[in-house]
Structures are given as C-alpha cells and as structure tokens.
C-alpha cells in the first residue's frame, strides 16, 4: 500500500510499504477514505518529539471502511468508522475511569520503558506518533491495522460525509475536552492561545458550554478571522500586549480560564513581554537539543489567568520547560488540567451534536489533497499557516 | 466594553512587514565616542553576523543524536538485579480483575509462557511441572519445578528441583486492591542463570536485566487478563 513515512526532520515521503493484516483477535483493518494532518504532526515533522524512526508511518486522524476483522472485533466489514487517535483497551484502571489516552495496555510492553523512564509512568498508545506511544503505524496510508477495534472506532451514518465527521478522530474532541477542562461557569471569560484547528474547536466548544466571552489570540489574519466568525473577540499578539489587554478587558480580574492550544513550538520573539523573552532561550535549547519545549504561550497564559482560575492545556509538550512560572501558579491558586484527549469518552455526544448541526466541523478545512501530495501538505501547513488552516488527505483521489 | 475596543481587532490584521528603525539616541551613543553611527552600526552588525554564523555552523554540524533502539534498556539500572550468582527481581502490578480469577490464571502454569520471557512451554502434573526455556544458540533448557506452596487465592511458590540446569525460585502473592480496583500481584523471582557467568554475559548482551524481564512479564500478564491479548504495533503476523 501507499503510506506517508518519516525520513527525517522536514523530510516525509509517500512510500510503498507492506499492507497490514489482522494480528490480534480484537484487530480490524480499515481502508482509509479520509485522513488529516494535525498540529501534532508538525511536532514530529520538526523533529522535536523523540523516538520517531525512519520509515514510521505517520498520521493519527483518519476514518474509513472496515475491510477485515479479527475474531473478537465487534465491527462488521463494510461499516464506515471514525477511529480515535488514542488506542485503548477498555479494561484497565484508566479506561474504566474514562481516561482512555492513559490506557495501560495499548503501548507494547517493550516500548513502555522509554516513557516510563521519561515520565514516571508509561504512556498509552497512539497511532503514528513515535515509539514513545507504541510505534503504531499511522493513518496517512491506504490501510491501517486498528487494535482494540471493539472499543475505539465509532460507526457513522452514511448521510454524514467524511468531512463532517473526520475530526471526531482527534481535534473536535480535543477542543471539546480543552473547554471541558476549563470548567466554564456562568459569566466566565475564557482566553484561548492559538487559533489553529485545536484552538478553533476549543473556542466553539467554550461558547457552546456557556462562556460569557471567548478571547482568541494568534497572529495569522485568516485564523483570527475564523475565530471571529465563531464568535470570539480576537487579539493579535504581534500588535498587542496580551497580558495588559486581558487585564484591561476584564476590569483587572484576568480571564477566569485560559487555554493553551499552541503547544511546545510557541512562536514569538518580540521582546515586548517578559514571557516572550524567555521563549528565545527555549528556542535555542530546542535547536541544540537540550530541553525540549518552547513555552512562551503557556507562560503568558499562566501569567494572565485570574487568581483561583483554571488552566487548560491541550497543547502538546514533550520534555522539560525552564522558567515555568510556578510562583504565579501557586500564589494565584490556579488549577491545571491537561492530557492527550480521552477521545472515546466524547465520541457519542459529539457525533450527536454534529448530526443536529450544533457543531460546525467543516469551516476550517482549507485544502483537500490526494495522499500522494501529503509532503506538500506538510510543508505548507507548516510554512504557510495563514492560508493552510487544515489539510485533509484522500487516499483514493 | 468600550475600553476593550483598544485591544479587540475589529478585523483581522493585515499581514505586514515591520520596518526596522534605529532609534535616535543610539546614534548619539556612537557619536559621543567619536565613532560615526554608520561605522558603529556596521561593526555591530558584522559582529552579530559572525556570531550568528558561528552559532548556525555549530547547530548544523552538530552530529544527530542517535536514537536508541525501540527496546533499549532504560539508562538507569534497577537496583538489586544481581546478588552474587543470583539474579534477583521483585515487582508488583495492579490487575483489574478479581483475586480468584488472577490466581486461577497464574495457577494454571501452562499460561506462564504467554507472558514470561524466554519460557517456551510448561507441562504440569500435580505439583510437579516441566518447564522448557529458550537457551543461547537455539538450544532448549529443561527444568523440573516443584510447587512448594499453594494457598488458594493468596500465595503460590515454586522451586526448581535440585540438580536442574537453572536453579530458580518464585513466589507470588495476591492481595485485594481497594474499592474494587482488582488485585495486586507481587512476584519475587530468584534464579541462577545457566552456565553462571556465561549465561549472565548473554543476559547482559541482550540487555535485559532480570528486573526488566520480570517487569515486562507482569505487564504482559496484565494485558492478557485485562485486554485478552498482548499489544503489538506490528502490522503483520511475521513481525509480531
Ligand atoms: N491534547 C491532545 O490530545 C492534542 C490533540 C491534537 C493536537 N494537540 C496539540 O494542540 C496544539 C495545537 O494544534 P493545532 O493543530 O491547532 O496546531 P497549529 O500548529 O495549526 O496551530 C498552532 C497555532 O498557535 C499559534 N501560536 C504560536 N505561538 C503563539 C503564541 N505565542 N501566542 C498565540 N498563538 C500562538 C500559531 O500561530 C498557530 O496558529 C499542538 O501542540 C498539538 O500538538 C493536542
Ligand atoms: Zn491530532
Ligand atoms: Zn486500557
């Protein structure tokens, strides 16, 4: 089959690789009809996530048709399914507590050592997202082997076309969980850093969950325009002192909840705020390979958050962050909630909201490309973020 | 709300390139030192450019850190792995199943090869069992094992009979975890690898400490009991 594989930093290619087959009883094989490139994939593309090996198939946002099933799969051939990017067994402590991304039994035993050493506990399993999370071949391919297929994939009705439901695989539930983690209350102002796909869905979700106002921060005009269309008030961090603006807009209180939908590759070198200055040293360290994370947006979010407020962190971080404003966190009594999304926990509810038209899922798709052009998609989604807001790949085209 | 208008953008910003300007007083700085501002700026820019070039050269030529293989041993060594000629390992694991179920699965010794490394088969008759291990160079090592303690749902202990090529003892206890979380399994293992130091060298060569082998074994047991299968990222059977 054809699949997008990793060859090194900023070098991904579509190669011919062996087709997957059923290996374990709970497996299913999916023929991919749509798959997307995610901001998380850019962290792999930029080489800032460890343990990505040459030849690894990337991609964790995908859907398609069931073409083969193992003896214990509950799926049937021919069904249309969206597959969560989190692989979860359904039976461990974490799965039973609906913390699906923390599943103990998805990451193969031999691969657990690395993250156990790095984080204290081994990570769960994710499709196409480095060997830290299992080294599972990803979804930017014609076919995918889906383990624990009786727990993850959700069957979608035929009248909802791919573009409407594809994002159930990751970014829609991720934006939803980001807002959920902000514990929104009546009258709340929620500030969201990053108007990429995750930030945009977080904005939409926060408004659905009753936020009084949502303030969105980025600098790409097109992305800010999308945020505004959703109903957010927008700030450009290149032209505005964000901390001051947020304080002034809330009568000095600060936003009740802040959401970092930027993650470990925060931009911003403008020496206008204390927090951005620190980002410069983070960048240098990331380039020479010590310390992994660039935390400009996160620092600014914590700095801006009101006392006793909530920090929701869907943005991905991988290693260590210096100059973490722990003092601000503690002295202001902030709460923080974060994590890879527990996709399976939200699928039913969100599919319902798509069906009733309560959630718009297509507005951010800027480009649809054949799988063969995936490398072009990566390049532009990275270098041309203003115009390339979300790329969907179609293996069949 | 009115005041917010100072910050909120009515429309998304235009993309623009920001012109770089040298503020007035910088010129004074150089002039006061008898250097023309242009020379000062030129020298400054030159120095900065050299520094940047050196930095870039370092970053570019720095060799890539080689990635460890997928199953590389953690860099830290777990304590107590070798005590004299004995390999010693002890680990506990939480399994989300009732104690009776976990005990029964473990008590059926023929299940052991499904999760313990290097163990090919176990045939049991009463309290005696016959274990076949994978040895070096494709050999097989046969060990006779006696069940030395068997308290239902609580404890199991076994030991190789005297004169076995592998001297080993294992002890497993089963305890209830609180609030219906399942069962804590605690497994202690002591063995003398075949051919003493040579076996140990082999074990080190394949970079698996006793502790790591046991940890992997218990995690596989957990997967079998909680998920019904052992996770693999292999896309085809021949690689699993
Ligand atoms: N928790 C999860 O399960 C999960 C799932 C999907 C994605 N993510 C993560 O969410 C993050 C965002 O994903 P995405 O797909 O939207 O990525 P993206 O790269 O498309 O968007 C990031 C946006 O952040 C903006 N940005 C950068 N620096 C900023 C700053 N200092 N202040 C304000 N905005 C800034 C960029 O301009 C860009 O528009 C990534 O880190 C991704 O890995 C997490
Ligand atoms: Zn994603
Ligand atoms: Zn699980």
Q: Is B10 on the interface with A (CB under 8 A)?
A: no
- Residues whose CB falls within 8 Å of the CB of residue B202, separated by 6 or more in sequence, listed in order: B136, B193
pLDDT at residue B79 tops 50: no
Task: Give per-residue pLDDT as tens, B87-118.
Answer: 888 999 999 999 999 999 999 999 999 999 88
Q: How far is CA B14 from CA A31, A194, B2, B167, in A?
A: 42, 18, 23, 76
For residue B235, give both structure tokens: 């896309």
Range of the domain at B171: 74-230
Within-domain flag for B238? no
Q: Is B207 on the interface with A (CB under 8 A)?
A: no
> For residue A175, which phi and psi values (nearest 5 degrees)?
-65, -40
> For residue B92, which phi and psi values (nearest 5 degrees)?
-125, 155
Q: Are A192 and A202 in contact (CB under 8 A)?
A: yes
The rounded distance, in Å, linking the Cα atoms of A389 and A181 is 24
The rounded distance, in Å, linking the Cα atoms of A187 and B182 is 43
- Residues whose CB falls within 8 Å of the CB of residue B64, separated by 6 or more in sequence, listed in order: none
Within-domain flag for B69? no
Within-domain flag for B50? no
Within-domain flag for B29? no
The share of chain B scoring above pLDDT 70, in percent, equals 71
Q: Are A227 and A213 in contact (CB under 8 A)?
A: no
10-residue mean pLDDT series, chain A (397 residues): 97 98 98 97 92 96 98 98 98 98 97 92 97 97 98 97 98 98 98 98 98 98 98 96 96 98 77 56 64 81 98 92 91 98 98 97 97 98 97 89
pLDDT at residue B134 tops 90: no
The CATH number covering residue B114 comes to 3.30.530.20
Q: How many CB pairs under 8 A join A and B?
A: 147
Q: Is B60 on the interface with A (CB under 8 A)?
A: no
Contact B94/A93, CB-based, under 8 Å? yes
Q: How far is the CA of A8 from the centre of ligand 2 (A)?
A: 20
Q: Is A135 in the pocket of ligand 1 (CB under 6 A)?
A: no
pLDDT at residue B30 tops 70: no
Within-domain flag for B28? no
What DSSP assignment string belongs to A188-209? -EEEEE--SHHHHHHHHHHHHT
Distance from CA of A298 to the nearest CA of B (A): 20
CA-nearest of B220, B150, B80 to B159 is B150
Q: From the candidates B13, B51, B63, B238, which should be mutated to test the interface with A, based on the most A CB atoms within 10 A? A: B13
The rounded distance, in Å, linking the Cα atoms of B97 and B215 is 19
Q: Is A196 in the pocket of ligand 1 (CB under 6 A)?
A: yes
Structural domains present in chain A:
2-170+341-394 (3.90.180.10), 174-338 (3.40.50.720)
Nearest residue of A to residue B68, measured between CA atoms:
A51
Residue A135 region by backbone torsions, left for phi larger than 0, else alpha for psi between -120 and 50, else beta: left
pLDDT at residue B61 tops 60: yes
- Residues whose CB falls within 8 Å of the CB of residue B185, separated by 6 or more in sequence, listed in order: B92, B93, B94, B95, B102, B106, B172, B173, B174, B218, B221
Contact B227/A219, CB-based, under 8 Å? no
Q: Which residue has the tokens 């071949």?
A: A137
Q: Is B232 on the interface with A (CB under 8 A)?
A: yes
Ligand lying nearest the CA atom of residue A263: 1
pLDDT at residue B68 tops 80: no
Q: Is A296 in the pocket of ligand 1 (CB under 6 A)?
A: yes
What's the pLDDT band for B2 if we cut at 50, 70, 90?
Answer: low
Q: Which of B6, B9, B228 sits opposite A26 (nearest CB)?
A: B228
What's the pLDDT band for B228 if we cut at 50, 70, 90?
Answer: very high
Nearest residue of B to residue A225, measured between CA atoms:
B12
Within-domain flag for B192? yes
The rounded distance, in Å, linking the Cα atoms of A287 and A166 is 34
Within-domain flag for B12? no
pLDDT number for residue A293: 73
Q: How far is the CA of B29 from the centre of ligand 2 (A)?
A: 51
pLDDT at residue B42 tops 90: no
pLDDT at residue B207 tops 80: no
pLDDT number for residue A271: 43
pLDDT at residue B190 tops 80: yes
Within-domain flag for B80? yes
The rounded distance, in Å, linking the Cα atoms of B136 and A294 is 47
The rounded distance, in Å, linking the Cα atoms of A49 and A40 is 10
Structural domain total, chain B: 1
């Amino acid at each position: 089959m054809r699949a997008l594989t990793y060859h090194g930093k900023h070098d991904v290619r579509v190669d011919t690789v062996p087709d997957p087959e059923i290996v374990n009883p709970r497996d299913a094989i999916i023929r991919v009809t749509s798959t997307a490139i995610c901001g998380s994939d850019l962290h792999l593309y930029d080489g800032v996530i460890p343990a990505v090996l040459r030849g690894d198939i990337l991609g964790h946002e995908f859907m398609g048709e069931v073409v083969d099933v193992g003896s214990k799969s509950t799926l049937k051939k021919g069904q249309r399914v969206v597959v969560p990017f989190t692989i979860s067994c359904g039976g461990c402590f974490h799965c039973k507590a609906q913390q699906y991304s923390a599943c103990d039994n998805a990451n193969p035993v031999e691969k657990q050592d690395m993250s156990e050493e790095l984080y204290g506990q081994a990570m769960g399993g994710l499709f196409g997202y480095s060997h830290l999370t299992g080294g599972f071949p990803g979804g930017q391919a014609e076919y995918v082997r889906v383990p624990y297929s009786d727990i993850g994939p959700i069957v979608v009705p035929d009248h909802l076309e791919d573009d409407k439901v594809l994002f159930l695989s990751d970014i829609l539930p991720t934006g939803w969980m980001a807002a959920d983690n902000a514990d929104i209350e009546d009258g709340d102002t929620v500030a969201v850093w990053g108007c990429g796909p995750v930030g945009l869905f977080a904005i939409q979700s926060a408004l659905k969950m009753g936020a009084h106002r949502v303030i969105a921060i980025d600098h790409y005009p097109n992305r800010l325009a999308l945020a505004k269309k959703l109903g957010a008030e927008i700030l450009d961090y290149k032209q505005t002192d964000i901390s001051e603006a947020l304080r002034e807009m809330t009568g000095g209180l600060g936003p009740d909840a802040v959401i970092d939908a930027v993650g470990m590759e925060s931009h911003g070198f403008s020496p206008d705020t204390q927090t951005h200055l620190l980002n410069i040293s983070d960048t240098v360290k990331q380039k020479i390979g010590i310390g992994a994370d660039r935390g400009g947006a996160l620092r600014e979010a914590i700095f801006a958050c009101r006392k006793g407020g909530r920090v929701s962190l869907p943005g991905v971080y991988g290693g260590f962050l210096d100059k973490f404003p722990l003092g601000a966190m503690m002295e202001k009594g902030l709460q923080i909630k974060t994590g890879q999304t527990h996709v399976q926990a939200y699928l039913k509810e969100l599919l319902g909201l798509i069906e009733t038209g309560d959630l718009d899922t297509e507005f951010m798709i800027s480009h649809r490309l054949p799988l063969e052009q995936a490398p072009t998609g990566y390049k532009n989604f990275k270098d041309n973020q203003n115009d390339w807001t979300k790329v969907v790949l179609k293996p069949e085209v | 709300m009115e005041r917010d208008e100072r910050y909120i953008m009515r429309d998304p910003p235009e993309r623009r390139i920001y012109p770089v300007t040298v503020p007035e007083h910088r010129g004074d700085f150089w002039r006061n030192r008898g250097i023309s501002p242009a020379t000062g700026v030129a020298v400054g820019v030159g120095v900065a450019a050299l520094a940047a070039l050196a930095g870039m050269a370092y970053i570019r030529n720095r060799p890539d850190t080689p990635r460890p293989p997928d199953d590389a041993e953690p860099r830290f060594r777990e304590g107590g792995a070798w005590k004299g000629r004995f390999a010693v390992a002890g680990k506990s694991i939480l399994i989300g199943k009732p104690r009776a179920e976990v005990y029964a699965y473990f008590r059926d010794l023929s299940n052991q090869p499904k999760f313990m490394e290097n163990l090919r088969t176990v045939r049991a008759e009463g309290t005696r069992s016959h274990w076949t291990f994978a040895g070096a160079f494709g050999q097989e090592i046969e060990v006779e094992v006696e069940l030395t303690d068997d308290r239902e749902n609580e404890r199991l202990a076994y030991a190789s009979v005297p004169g076995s090529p592998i001297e080993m003892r294992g002890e497993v206890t089963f305890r209830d975890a609180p609030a219906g979380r399942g069962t804590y399994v605690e497994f202690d293992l002591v063995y003398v690898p075949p051919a003493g130091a040579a076996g140990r060298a082999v074990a080190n060569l394949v970079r698996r400490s006793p502790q790591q082998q046991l940890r992997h074994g218990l995690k596989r047991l957990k997967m079998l009991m909680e998920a019904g299968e052992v996770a693999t990222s292999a896309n085809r059977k021949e690689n699993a």
